[in-house]
Amino acid sequence: MSSPRTELANAIRALSMDAVQQANSGHPGAPMGMADIAEVLWSDYLQHNPANPGWPDRDRFVLSNGHGSMLLYSLLHLTGYDLPMEALKNFRQLHSGTPGHPEYADTPGVETTTGPLGQGLSNAVGMAIAEKVLAARFNREGHAVVDHHTWVFLGDGCLMEGISHETCSLAGTLGLGKLIAFYDDNGISIDGEVEGWFTDDTPARFRAYGWQVINDVNGHNPSEIKAAIEAARHDRLRPTLICCKTVIGKGAPNKQGSESCHGAPLGADEVAAARVALDWPYEPFEIPEAIYAGWDARETGAAREQAWEARMAAYGEAHPELAAELRRRLAGELPTGFSAQAAAYVAACQEEGASIASRKASQNCLNAYGPDLPELLGGSADLAGSNLTLWSGSRPITADDAGGNYLYYGVREFGMAAIMNGLALHGGFINYGATFLVFMDYMRNAVRMAALMRQQSIFVFTHDSIGLGEDGPTHQPVEQLTVLRATPNLQTWRPCDAVESAVAWKAAIERRDGPSALVFSRQGLPHQPRDADQLAAISRGAYILRDCDDRPDIILIATGSEVALAMAAAGRLAGAGRQVRVVSMPCTERFEEQDAAYREAVLPSDVLARVAVEAAHADYWYKYVGLDGRVVGMTTFGASAPAGDLMEYFGFTEDNVVAVAEELLF
């Protein structure tokens, strides 16, 4: 006869195999193999409230091996979240609330979108950093109002992905003692037994990172699992990896322990056999009331949140200003008056008229906005001095002093971006991270995940073109801007001077429904004159920087460092009697969001003579110039030479822009 714990775990197994079978698609193996671990964690330790999935001091649970999504959906359903049985029956169907991989905001209780292996684990590192930094900032003696754990389930695939090294190494360095990960060591991946391609000494690897490692835990023995969790919770100075030996697909008598149950339904006969093997005499999707009662976490969850609210009330009496600030930050609200103060700074930049590199202008923005934004948390992938992401108020976050606001990520671009997403998901911060634009390729999938989850991660990219110069084509971005602009829900800004840089930062800070990419130059950029209307129009993504008296003969469109080039070429063309308009387009996504009347006013549809100028891949710009227009852009990689020589060689000169325009006009 099964023990009560095993019966509860078997409910996960049954729901998982039934849902996958009904969908005829999915991964039953991991949920069935990790069910016992999940039962102990969720029954005895996880701090959560099914009635309020957004309770700020809840534990975070991340299923990094996201293909095992039915494990999480089963847990959410059984413990009392708003995820009815009908949703499980519609697993992997359109708008079901139970997509093939967990998706943030689609399902109550899902903390992050997982599926790209290793990123859930890395998001969890970001969440654990957020908890540690907030606790250092706000907790006071006798008032532990930020006090929760981050729990991660992961498999062999997560550990094979290189990002796991990047982020777990940093987690050890930062001493994230409230990060606890369970490694599902079942020896199986899609292609079969992993001993042919994954023979790492995983415990030794994590010990080398500075983690506590609890090895050789029987992942089907509740007592061993519970003892491992107790030991993990006891060590507050190191993150913990609990290595659990499990049987993939446990309970399926003919397929458990093999790849055949990894990524495919068990089949009707095997499901029936599993019911017998598990002593589960119930129909598909049938859960006895006693099992529901054993899982129900609504009462305990409500009590936990009420206890926290009581602690917050006491905290508010003892430290009213800190309590108000914590609640503001957890609510994601900007400080009162920020927008007005930022607008004043933009106006001051226009008045000052500084001609500087936009990366320097970006640093000036941080110095201007940072003092009013205690939630600002920055970092750079070992390029702080080049990205200029340090500002006067920057303080490093370390294992011993987590009260800072700046992370030295090291050479970990991908890891940085995934950690940033975890920080954003946790709440309480507006975070930014920086590298050279060309190295966006390393972090591309995490940038995509930020956009998919609509998280406010601010990706700062400098050294934005062949203007980088002598470092050569390995460091000179060409196609990266196109990739960023092609990403749904990502706003990419490439400002032409200090004023547009200030607007870009203001927009990224104020945007709450998705990430921003801020792209800055290495080289100095001249200030552009503007009137009040032009200044206000920058935030619309594109605006008329220079106009003509009559209907334009030709429109020049440019971004970033090439705006000055377009302005110079326009002056020459106008001197030759041409009616020329120059449009600065720092953010194409913002421009596309404007109403049709505004877009028509900036780019009249009856003016077909258009030239786009940008030191990046040319093909992107045909959507604005049309097939009859021209693009002065890149069609090859760059070269190693001084920046001025490169600009001339690749055609980014006043003479060439004028020649291209004149060719179009004749």
The token pair that represents 344 in the structure block:
């004043």
The token pair that represents 53 in the structure block:
């999935």
**Could you tell me which residues come within 8 angstroms of residue 374 by beta carbon, excluding any fewer than 6 positions away?**
325, 329, 335, 405
The whole-angstrom separation of Cα 414 and Cα 411 is 9
Beta-carbon count within 10 A of 505 CB: 27
How does DSSP assign 555-610, residue by residue?
EEEE-TTHHHHHHHHHHHHHHTT--EEEEE-S-HHHHHHS-HHHHHHHS-TT---E
The token pair that represents 528 in the structure block:
């552009």
The whole-angstrom separation of Cα 364 and Cα 502 is 8
How does DSSP assign 73-87, residue by residue?
HHHHHHHT-S--HHH
Counting runs of H as helices and runs of E as strands, what totals does the chain give? 27, 20
The token pair that represents 469 in the structure block:
């110069």
Residues facing residue 612 across a β-bridge: 557, 631
Beta-carbon count within 10 A of 312 CB: 17
Helix residue spans in 358-406 (DSSP H): 358-369, 384-387
List, as own/partner pairs, every contact residues 94-99 make where C-beta atoms lie below 8 angstroms and the sequence separation is at least 24, other chains included.
98/19, 98/69, 98/70, 98/73, 99/69
- Angle (CA) 436-437-438 rounded to 5° is 95
Asked about 111 being catalytic, the answer comes back as no
Q: Pick from 136, 23, 126: which is nearest to 419 by CA? A: 126
How does DSSP assign 184-210, residue by residue?
EE-SEETTEEGGGT----HHHHHHHHT
- Angle (CA) 460-466-472 rounded to 5° is 105
* Residue ranges of E strands in 402-476: 406-408, 430-436, 457-462
Which of these is catalytic: 111, 224, 413, 589? 413
3-class SS at 336?
coil
Q: Which amino acids are annotated catalytic?
A: 413
